[in-house]
Amino acid sequence: MKRLLFFVLLAGCAKAEPEPEIKRVSVMTFNVENLFDTKHDPDKNDLAFLPLAGKETREHKTACQKMKRALYRDQCLEWDWSSETLAVKMKRLGKVILSVGDGRGPDILLLQEVENKAILERLRTGPLADAGYGPGLLLEANDARGIDQAILTRLPVVSGPTLYRDAGGTLTRGLLIAGLSLPDGTVLQTGVVHFPSPAAPRRLREGGLRILNNYRQRISSASLMLVGGDFNITAEEEAEFRVFARLAGEQWALAHELGCKKCPGTHYYAPKKSWSFLDVVLISKNMDPNGSAPWTIDAASVRLVDSARGQKDKRGRPLRFDPMDRTGISDHFPLVVDLVKRR
């Protein structure tokens, strides 16, 4: 009895093994291309993304005929964006996202082209249920199509989300930003953007980078900040006008320039037979490998996610989702980076 009591007391005095410290956090940015629900939002140009059964009204056909481009008119009239079509789209997106992180997806997921909070939650609680993400972060902007940015994460949200926009309307979709707590308690100011398309004037994308710079200058220089998204700056635009080099070089480092140097890009533009890194992850300079922040980027981790079934065509290019035959997933490849705690 005494011997038994001795072992019980000894076990009680033994200290529990400490939990292993998490020293790596993964981040993915992904333009999911037209993640719309099946309902029409008033004052938004989402008429293509409705079930075919509801497109027979005179009102709908008249609205479609007013569209200038034949491509958009045809989509408005002929696409069957039914519940079944949407389910296929979301299931495939889920497979791409969960293909990283041992089936759990990235720790931080930055999304573009999400119509609203409701469809984001359907993605989170349906195809992405295994990821264990908390409630999605999305604030409605004033984009004409109704597409917004969003954040899904397993990390604690300690501030925000806030949608930051300039008075001049350069960023119609805004900068969505939230403070996330990294495993050691350090706060990472995490933003996601979707700049105006390459067809829009270059000054709008340059203005977007200036807005990011202004925001960065407003907060402490010691703070950690990461911004991902679809910047829509093509390889040709960067080569000719050095947009990132001029406007981001002093305050930011580009993840794909630190790693992924053999990657072709995240988007392919067929008319010019050109690859571009439209999708970019920026980290504040104090987080680059030569910086002083407690967390940095693992350059070797920067990678494209392009191996899911149906994600690319026979030439290795992103295969956009086609509601007519339900092929493809998105016209963008996701970009993934890992943040690591410095020794």
Q: So what's the pLDDT on residue 22?
A: 81
Mean pLDDT value across residues 164-177 = 80
Using an 8 Å Cβ cutoff, are 139 and 59 in contact? no
pLDDT digits (tens, 9 = 90+) for 252-272: 999 999 999 999 999 999 999
User: What is the pLDDT at residue 281?
Assistant: 98
**What distance in Å separates the CA atoms of residue 93 and residue 202, rounded to the nearest whole number?**
30
Range(s) of the domain holding residue 337: 29-34+87-341
pLDDT of residue 172: 73
Q: Is residue 56 part of a domain?
A: no
Query: Does the N-terminal peptide bond of residue 135 adopt cis geometry, omega within 30 degrees of 0?
Result: no
Average pLDDT score over residue span 298-307: 97
Give the integer Cα–Cα distance in Å for 174 and 131: 27
Which one-letter amino acid corresponds to residue 335? L
Count of domains observed in the chain: 1
pTM, to two decimals: 0.93
> What pLDDT, on the 0 to 100 scale, is given for residue 21?
74
Q: How confident is the model at residue 9 (pLDDT cuts 50, 70, 90)?
A: very low
**Position 51 in a domain:** no
Mean pLDDT of 123-141: 97
Domain assignment present for residue 77? The answer is no
CATH number for position 162: 3.60.10.10
pLDDT of residue 235: 98
